[in-house]
Structures are given as C-alpha cells and as structure tokens.
C-alpha cells in the first residue's frame, strides 16, 4: 500500500515579503490598508501569526503591479500637472 502525503509549506510574513521583494513592514502596511487579502491567521501560544502559502504569495505577486505607491504616484501626478501648465 502506498500513501501519498502532501505537505503544504507555510511562510511567515517576513519570509513571504522576502519572496515578493518587499520589506516585511511594507507587506504589513498593505495588509492593514486592505490593499492585499489577509492570509490565514494561526495562533501559536498567545501570538496570532499570518501564515502564507505558495498560492497566497502568487496571488499577491499578481496584485503588486496594480497597487499604487502613494508617494511615487503623488509626485508623478504633480509632475504631469506641471508639464501640462507649461505647454501652450
């Protein structure tokens, strides 16, 4: 008899952020601002920890290009306004 077991690898927020090329603080801010969906929360002792699967990370990777970076976007908008005013 052969048993097939599937192990699901789970990542911490720090590990998920590293895989996404972000800092953990940035990923946490995106979660708090509801720009990205919250992953499964597990309780370890008295701590609540986000637990990221490969599917969660892939989903965030698809969303990242659609998330506007506030400071960068603001300055780009200001630059566009300046160039429109200078053109006759």
The closest of 36, 46, 33, 34 to 16, measured between CA atoms, is 36
- On whether the CB atoms of residues 51 and 41 are closer than 8 A, the answer is yes
pTM of the model: 0.68
Measured at the CA of 43, the angle between CA 6 and CA 37, to 5 degrees, comes to 75
The closest of 41, 35, 5 to 20, measured between CA atoms, is 35
The closest of 46, 57, 53, 51 to 19, measured between CA atoms, is 57
Position 32 pLDDT exceeds 70: yes
Can you give the pLDDT at residue 31? 93
Q: pLDDT tens across 34-85, in order?
A: 999 999 999 989 999 899 999 999 999 998 888 766 566 667 777 777 776 6
């Amino acid at each position: 008899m052969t048993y097939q077991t599937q192990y699901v690898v789970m990542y911490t927020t720090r590990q998920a952020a590293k895989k996404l090329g972000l800092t953990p603080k940035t990923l946490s801010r995106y979660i708090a601002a509801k720009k990205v969906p919250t992953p499964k929360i597990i309780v370890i002792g008295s701590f609540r920890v986000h637990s990221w699967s490969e599917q969660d990370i892939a989903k965030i990777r698809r969303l990242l290009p659609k998330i506007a970076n506030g400071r960068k976007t603001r300055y780009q908008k200001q630059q566009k306004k300046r160039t429109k005013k200078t053109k006759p």
